[in-house]
Structure 1
Amino acid sequence: MPAKSQAQQKAAGAALAAKRGDMPKSKLKGASRSMAESMSEEELDKMASTPRKGKPQHAGKG
């Protein structure tokens, strides 16, 4: 599933780094923490590797 916004992509990247052991899970907050707990490494990799060009900073509601 590709990221819908730059913020979502950044959160997925942080969660992926924690899942791989590159950063401690205790440093995660909010969305990145829940992503790390609920998504597989493969899902996080797909979301984090989405191109940023043309993505809004934050996804709109709705």
Structure 2
Amino acid sequence: MLVWVQPPMAARRQPHRWSARVLAQSDALDLEDGVFRKRTARAVAASLRRSALASRRRKAQP
């Protein structure tokens, strides 16, 4: 008869936190909440522009 024994806590593999790593290391733009729920394209564009100007996450100099 086979009996499965759970390994001790230290021996268990920790889950990958790829999403946290991407958020920390990515050069992606930080957007305002609800930016794509705005009523007009002009409002979306203005929000994106504000986010781009305020963001310090850059691959290259502007």
Give the TM interval when normalised to the shorter protein.
Answer: under 0.3
Pick the structure with greater CA Rg.
2
Higher RCO (Cα < 8 Å, 6 or more apart): 1
**TM-score where L is the length of structure 2:** 0.25
Judging by fraction of residues, say which structure has more helix: 1
